[in-house]
Amino acid sequence: MSELRNKKSLVIYFSRADENYAVGYVNKGNTEYIAEYVRDIIGAQIFKVEPLVPYSKEYNKCIEEAKLRVGNAPIKNKIDDISQYEVIYIMTPVYWGSYAPEIETAIKDLDFTRKTIRIVTTHEGSGLANVVDDIRKICKGVVINDFIAIKGSECINAKNTIENWL
């Protein structure tokens, strides 16, 4: 068991329900399962990043909208203060080879000094894609401890995988 499990932890995640690749119409997004597993296993706080304007329910429309939001993705709710947490989990679906654009909005002004950062991507083939590198670019000085990529359609059954990774 990793010693990180016992530290005060926050999960910052993005996840979208409705129609998606490989899973059809769902009530809960793939990444949300992973966020909730981490909450349930180690007692982490979870924070869901939500777009100010929801994405379309249809997958084909959503992928076009996501392209247009790169670098300009307003969110409903901001996290201002992460000072009480030692470990920050950043969880995102891979969108066009990187994080969901709203993740950038949520994390770019946070102070990650002395934090342990663990990254989770969910995807349908791209793995981590550029997510880790892109987070390093936008969060100056961030030190990323480790990362894991989980196939989107397997998230619902990934509790053991997460248990072992944690």
Ligand X SMILES: Cc1cc2nc3c(=O)[nH]c(=O)nc-3n(C[C@H](O)[C@H](O)[C@H](O)COP(=O)(O)O)c2cc1C
C-beta nearest to ligand X: residue: 152
- Please give the Cα distance from 9 to 11 (Å, whole number): 7
Beta carbon of residue 8, minimum distance to ligand X (angstroms, whole number) = 24
Q: Which is nearer to ligand X, 84 or 157 (CB)?
A: 157
Beta carbon of residue 92, minimum distance to ligand X (angstroms, whole number) = 8
- Please give the Cα distance from 77 to 23 (Å, whole number): 27
**Whose CA is closest to 59, among 132, 152, 121?**
152
Beta carbon of residue 43, minimum distance to ligand X (angstroms, whole number) = 22
**Whose CA is closest to 158, among 73, 31, 34?**
34
- Please give the Cα distance from 123 to 65 (Å, whole number): 18
Cβ contacts of residue 110 below 8 Å, gap of 6+?
79, 82, 139
Residues that bind ligand X (CB under 6 A): 15-16, 20-21, 29-32, 62-63, 66, 93-97, 122-126, 152
Q: Which is nearer to ligand X, 29 or 51 (CB)?
A: 29
Beta carbon of residue 111, minimum distance to ligand X (angstroms, whole number) = 26
Q: Which is nearer to ligand X, 86 or 124 (CB)?
A: 124
Q: Which is nearer to ligand X, 9 or 30 (CB)?
A: 30
